[in-house]
Structure 1
Amino acid sequence: MLSIGELITKVQSLRLARTVAPLAARWPTVLSSRMIASESTAAVAAPAEQQKKVVKTSKAMKSYLERAKAHDEFMRIQNTEFKLGKRHLANMMGEDPETFSQDDIDRAIQYLFPSGLYDKRARPMMKPPEEVIPQRKAAEFDETGRPFHSMFYTSRPNYSKLLYDVVENINNLNGFEDRMMRKQLKPDESQKLEASGSEWIHKDALEKILLEDLTDIEYDNFVLAMERLLQHPYSYREQEFINRYRKPLLAKTDADQLPQPQFDADGRAFVTVYECLRKTARADVTVTVPGTGKITINGQNITYFEAIQSREQVLFPLVFADMVNKVDIVANVEGGGFAGQAGAIRWGIAMGLRSFVDADT
């Protein structure tokens, strides 16, 4: 016989078993439904998060892209016009357009548009657009507007970076010099850089390299910094960096070598200048010293030129050098018009007089 307490305990355990059994049977279904619900919620939330991560293009990048697109379109049109003009020019010269090179273009322009201008940059030319139109700087920031260059906010990052590199090279050379001094070693004088045959590039050339506009003060600061680097005892270690911003001076040896006078049967000195060019005119001019001021042009006197202006052209070098009635001139000229022939003779007289006057004249 069970006591009343034991009977109550058994009844409670039976009731608990009847309550837990259905829940245990249903538990996997509840778990699976909750997992499905959480997965579906995550799947729905994923596109929303992706939409939130879409990066908006900054106004600066939009403005740059618009300018770059307009520039590319402009360059495309210019290239098309250049190629079309190249074909027309080749047809005019009777050449094959497919093999018509830039050298052929330069010779054709010089033939069709002869010019006596001293500065070649002022003469007519036909070059590819990439050589004539200034280059544009690439985008200096990403789509969010964040600049690529660490010195972007200096307003001239390339110029600032150049000065930074100069100072860094000087510091490196100073450190190397300290190490050599501790070893009691002196710099080799034979390796010292020579600056006599070259000079620093001009301001406009530096601006083309940096793609930035510089003031005169900024260019002077660049020259001072580079001079300090050049004067360092161990500057030869940075020779490649220094030569990048130097250009050789034009050799004047050939230009300063004057033709030596020869002597005729009468013992008079004379100089003959050949191939005197002016437009399409060609002349050979002989200057004889001493003389009586006699001028012979193609067997005639100065009245060979009917125009007063052409006569003045021929006489100008003699008047300028104060050699009127002191020399004799014999000129043979052909080709071109009277103005071109007078210019060719004038050039020949001026070149011939150099051997008979001092350098100051």
Structure 2
Amino acid sequence: MVAPGAGMAWGCCCRISLMGARFAATGLAAQSQRRGGKGNQVLRLICTSAAAAAAAQRKNVAASGPEKYTEAFIKKQIEEFNIGKRHLANMMGKDPETFTQEDVDDTYRKFLDIQKHEDHMRAQDVSSDNTAQINLIGSRWLIKEELEEMLVEELSDQDHRLFIQLLERILTQPYCSTEEEYVLKFRKQLDIESKKLLAEPLQYDEQGVAFSTGAGQRKTARATVVLYDKGTGKITVNGIDYLEYFPVLQHREQLMFPFQFLDRLGKHDMTCTVSDGGKPSQAGAIRLASSKALMSFVAENEIEFMRQAGLLTIDPRVRERKKPGQEGARRKFTWKKR
């Protein structure tokens, strides 16, 4: 940025140059009078050149002279600088009110270091399109007490929050996978419940068709299923087609939900045996049994998705018992005055 006094100095230089040209023209005119008529032509050329140069200099002074660096212009530049400094402070996670010029210079040096690092990575044929992310499934960030114990230092809630924010910002960078070991130091592994669920190995019948078995319960209903691979979607319950056995649409939807969740509709045949309970509880028992049988046909990550969806968890709800002195579990006898 040019200093405000530069335009004034430039104007002075232009006036001095113009005065020098005039003095030179005057001297040449005197010589031309002594030498003859040819000197007049040289004089006209010099005067014309001097006038053109002076006009061009005046134009440059008007374009970039004192008018450009007025008080309003300088005030506008200062406001834009303060706005940019606030944005830079927010981007670096610092307080804009206490962000000094030294912090600006330090940030600029950090940006230069990042640019040098990227140039170095490109020189090693490492593309910036490498956006492989760190796998954080099955882990969580350390809480404040755990981080204090690890660093042997007391932290405030704000420091802990800022530290987690900076780690999450690292995960958004293109080369974050190179710092996977460092980031995972501040995460704690969680026990994945699906690892405790053991899928039964596939069995094969006489025709070589793979099948799996499963058992489930809901209230007093008990169900066992045999699930065959490479089927057409045929399902029988106690020897009856499930459309006839469960005339209510809600019961059929509950029975078919595990297949719909895993996008396996029409890929398996299933034979169910169910006893006790009513139709709603029987549908729930078959749903749990078929989910357990499907574990043998899917990958480990899909088993975890099934567990999170509640397909592998027994429904603990049961019918509430009747209470003495009242008509049912919650219902009271009708009150009569007499």
TM-score, length-normalised on structure 1? 0.32
